[in-house]
Chain A
C-alpha cells in the first residue's frame, strides 16, 4: 500500500555561531493509512524540527518529504500553504483556537479558506462536532470551553478539510491524564474511521497503548522501541 507520509533520508542542520549542529540525520519514516505513530524523545532531541519538516513548515537541508504521493521538494511558500490547508491537519500543544470564532465557525473558517462549498462545510462541521461530543457547544466561544473541549475542537478543526495526514504536537500536554486519554483515543478512532495517517509527538507514556507504533528520536534518527 502507498504510504500517506514518506520521509526519505532527511537531514537538517542549523548554524550556531561558527559551528554547525545536525538536528536530524538521515531520518526516514513511512506512515500508511489507518496508522497512528507516536514519536518520543527528550527535550532538544529535535522533535519540533521533525514535526516542522514533516508538516511542510520547514524545508530540510537534504532529503525528501512526500505527502500523499506529492513531493514537497521545490515548492514555494504559497504552494506549501495550500498543501498544509488541504492535505495536512495540525493539532498544537494548547488548542490554539481563534478566540473570536464560535466553535462551529472555527471549522467553517478552515473550510472556507480551502474553498469548500458552504452547504457541504456545515454538514461536515455538524457531523464532526457530533462525533467529538461537542454538538451542544457549537455556539460557544473558546473561552467558555474546558481544556479538553478546546482540544477536541482543535481535533475537529484539523479533520475538517479531510487531510491525508494529521500531525499532533504534544496534544495532551495541557490536559489531565483522563482527558489526555480521551483526546488521543479520538484521534486514533478518526484515523481508523477515515483511513488517514497521524503522527503524534508526545511525552505522555500513558497514551502509548493507543498508538500503532512508538518511535524514539535518537541522534537525529527514529528508532523502534
Chain B
C-alpha cells in the first residue's frame, strides 16, 4: 500500500474525480435498492403482512388471487388437514370507491376475511370490526391522507354498496391500491349485487385460503386437493399484478449500475496502468515482485470503493431522514451490507484487467529505453 497511498496523495485531482464517480454510482445503487425494497413492500404489503406460510389457490389461476375461485368444500378439507385455526379464507376484488360528500374517487382492493382469525389487521385508529358488525370497514391509512375520516361513508361505484369507515390500519395495500377490510357478511351482501348466472348468491366461494402448515401437512393437502395450487407466500407476492414487472425493471437498473461501476473502474485503472507500464517495468527491474505491484493496484481500488461507499452511506442516511414518510423507501442493514459487499466485489473484479496487465509487464523493458 506504500505506493498506492502516495500515488493518491500525488495525483489528487485524478483520484478525487474517480471517487466522485464511484460516489454517485454507489449512492444510486443504494437509493434504487431502497426504493425497490420500499416499492415491493408498498405494492403487496397486505399479502406480506399476512402471517400465512402458504396459500391455496385454484389450479390454473396463475397464482393470482383474483383469478382463483375455491368452494367451501376445499376450505373444509384444508381445515381438516391443517387444523381449523390454521386455514382461513380470503376474498378480494379491486374496486373504485367514492366518498359521499367528497368528489374523491379512489381505486382500492376490497378484502373479505374472517375478522376472528389471525388475518385480521391491527387497527391504529378508530374501532376495529368483528364478524357481526354490519356495513363497517377498516381502511388503509393512505386514504386518510386523501381526506377520509372515521365515520366517512364509502360507496362502491359499480354496485352502489356503501360502508362506514370504522378504523384505520397501517401499511395495507395490494397492487399499490389501499386495502379495505370487511367481514364475510358484508362481502356476501356485496356479491348479491352482482349475481353470477347459474349460481346462488348465498353460495360461499373464496378466492384463496391462507394456510399455516408444516411440510407434512402440505404434502397431504397437495395429494387431497387435486384441483388446487398450494404456493408459498413469496410466490404469491410476486404474482400480485404489477409486482414482478416493477421489481424486474428496478432490478435491471441496479444490475446495470453494478456493471457500470465495474466498467468505470476497469477502464480508469486500465488506462492508468497502461500509462504506467514503463514504470512497472522499472519497478520489476529493481526487484519489486508482481504480487506486490498487483496488491497495490487492488489496494487502491479497495480504498477508493470503500471510501466512496462510506460517504454515500452517510448521504443515504441524510436523504432518508429528509424523505417524506409517504415515499416508499426501505433499506435495512442486511440489504446495505449485501449491496456494499457486492459493490466492493464488482470493483475488485473491475481491477483484474489491470492486474493482468501488470503481471504481463516485462522487467526487460527497463533496459535500453531513452525516455519513460
Contacts and interface: CB of A to CB of B under 8 A. Distances in A.
Contact of A113 (B279, B288, B368, B371): B288
Contact of B368 (A90, A112, A141, A169): A169
Given A99-B10, A141-B10, A93 B369 contact: yes
Interface in B280-317: 282-289, 292
A96 B7 contact: no
Interface stretch (B121-129, B188-196, B359-367): B359-367
Contact of A100 (B11, B278, B372): B11
Nearest to A114: B287
Nearest to A96: B282
Contacts of A100: 3, 6-7, 9-11
A158 B366 CA distance: 14
A101 B10 CA distance: 8
Interface in A134-159: 141, 157-158
B370 A57 contact: no
Interface residues of B, number: 27
Interface string A107-119: 0011011100000
Given A85-B286, A109-B2, A90 B10 contact: no
Contacts of B7: 100
Contact of B289 (A47, A81, A98, A109): A81
B189 to A, nearest CB: 80
A53 to B, nearest CB: 10
B271 to A, nearest CB: 16
For chain A, give the interface size range.
35 or more
Contacts of A158: 286
B3 A92 contact: no
Contacts of B369: 92-94, 96
A170 B286 CA distance: 16
A19 interface: no
Interface centre among B285, B364, B367 (most CB of A within 10 A): B367
B274 to A, nearest CB: 15
B368 A173 contact: no
B9 A96 contact: no
Given A105-B6, A141-B10, A84 B286 contact: yes
Nearest to B287: A85
A48 interface: yes
B364 A113 contact: no
A82 interface: yes
Contacts of B370: 93-94, 173-174
Interface in A142-193: 157-158, 169, 173-174
A78 B364 CA distance: 15
Contacts of B292: 113
A112 B2 contact: yes
Interface of A: 47-48, 51-52, 55, 57-58, 78, 81-86, 88, 90, 92-94, 96, 98-101, 105, 109-110, 112-114, 141, 157-158, 169, 173-174
Given A85-B287, A169-B367, 13 more contacts: A57-B285, A86-B287, A90-B286, A92-B282, A93-B368, A94-B371, A100-B7, A101-B3, A105-B6, A110-B286, A113-B286, A113-B292, A169-B368
Enumerate the 10 nearest inter-chain pairs by beta-carbon distance, A residue then B residue, closest first: A85-B287, A100-B10, A48-B368, A84-B287, A100-B7, A96-B282, A48-B367, A81-B289, A52-B367, A96-B372
